[in-house]
């Protein structure tokens, strides 16, 4: 697997990382045995960036990764870049996120709780998942910087913030990466001021949901393919009134991918990789077959004309529905 650096201040990681959320939460029923085999296969393929968060399954995903990490030697652990996030808190009764907490006290408490669940002595990339606008980002990043000084965190990141917040945070302590949704379906979040700001400051971009939450793979034929437990049933782009239009766009992507001699998933990941060496997609999966398919995209080099054809398959404004439900949208971009 080729390597990329997360910004001028950050770690070297595999060109494609692995999003681990779906192994424990959101996307159907977990399959621990297959997920453990998938993590083993990821390590064998040279995938070094593993992404999780304390919010995924209310800590369950960190605990699951911790189980797998215990099977690794110290040398194997050192090859990994373990990324986790903090800031989303849950209602005890419903289990749903009901609060964003980025206070200095919670930064420290959340970090130590993540370390316990992961069973490790340090977090390689520790990121603010969402920001409480009532808390100065300087307070939050200052507390995060204290964890770097203590040796429990190596690098700092943010997720879904505004360019202005990113500048303030970076002035407090160097930020290595910002995690943002970026795919052929969601380009406006990154392209423009945010991308320019990241490149000016030397900050890498970790692109989450690079496969449009699975829709861009072409594996989904209709909303009926989603299990009752699948969280995507609550998301606007998968709603009855939107999904058919979006699946027609996926068919256009498939046609272009066929002409390139690869799968739709490989085409859209290769497209992201072609947007710059500072962009690292983290497609999520709990299946070895999908992992291997995704990893092969790192070996596909698209020329400008090929990348332009893929972009044209999903014209600006063509995607139907917001990328998150309203309550989650309100937590973005602060």
Are 21 and 53 in contact, with CB atoms under 8 Å apart? yes
DSSP string, 226-269: S-TT-GGGGSGGGSHHHHHHHHHHHHHHHHHHHHHTS-HHHHHH
Instruction: Confirm whether 208 is a catalytic residue.
Output: no
Are 309 and 256 in contact, with CB atoms under 8 Å apart? yes
Are 221 and 200 in contact, with CB atoms under 8 Å apart? no
Grouping H, G, I as helix, E, B as strand and the rest as coil, residue 221 is coil
Sign of the alpha-carbon torsion through 186, 198, 272, 207: negative
**Number of other CB atoms surrounding residue 139 within 10 Å:** 14
Given the residues 56, 182, 208, 290, select the one marked as catalytic.
56
* CB-count exposure of residue 150 (10 Å: 0-12, 13-18, 19+): exposed
What separation in angstroms does the CA of 82 have from each of 47, 246, 247, 281? 11, 33, 34, 15
Give the residue among 287, 222, 272 at the shortest CA–CA distance from 250.
222
> Which residues form the catalytic set?
56
């Amino acid at each position: 697997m080729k390597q990329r650096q997360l910004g001028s201040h950050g770690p070297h990681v595999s060109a494609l990382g692995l999003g681990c959320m779906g192994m424990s939460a959101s996307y159907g029923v977990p399959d621990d045995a297959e997920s453990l085999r998938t993590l083993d296969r990821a390590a064998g393929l040279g995938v070094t960036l593993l992404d999780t968060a304390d919010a995924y399954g209310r800590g369950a995903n960190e605990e699951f990764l911790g189980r797998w990490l215990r099977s690794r030697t110290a040398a194997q652990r050192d090859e990994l870049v373990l990324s986790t996030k903090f800031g989303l808190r849950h209602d005890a009764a419903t289990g749903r996120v009901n609060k964003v907490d980025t206070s200095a006290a919670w930064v420290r408490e959340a970090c130590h709780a993540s370390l316990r669940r992961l069973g490790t002595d340090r977090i390689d990339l520790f990121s603010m998942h969402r920001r409480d606008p009532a808390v100065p980002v300087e307070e939050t990043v200052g507390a995060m910087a204290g964890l770097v000084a203590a040796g429990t965190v190596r690098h700092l990141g943010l997720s879904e913030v505004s360019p202005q917040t990113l500048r303030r945070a970076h002035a407090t302590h160097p930020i290595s990466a910002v995690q943002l949704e970026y795919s052929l379906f969601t380009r406006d979040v990154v392209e423009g001021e945010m991308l320019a700001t990241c490149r000016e400051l030397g900050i890498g971009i970790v692109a989450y949901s690079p496969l449009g939450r699975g829709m861009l793979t072409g594996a989904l034929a209709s909303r009926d393919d989603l299990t009752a437990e699948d969280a995507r049933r609550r998301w606007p782009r998968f709603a009855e009134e939107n999904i058919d239009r979006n699946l027609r766009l996926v068919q256009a992507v498939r046609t272009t991918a066929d002409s390139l001699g690869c799968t739709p998933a490989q085409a859209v990941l290769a497209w992201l990789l072609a947007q710059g060496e500072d962009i690292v997609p983290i497609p999520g999966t709990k299946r070895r077959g999908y992992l291997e398919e995704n990893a092969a995209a790192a070996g596909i080099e698209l020329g400008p004309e090929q990348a332009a054809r893929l972009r044209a398959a999903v014209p600006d404004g063509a995607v139907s529905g917001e990328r998150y439900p309203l309550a989650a949208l309100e937590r973005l971009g602060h």
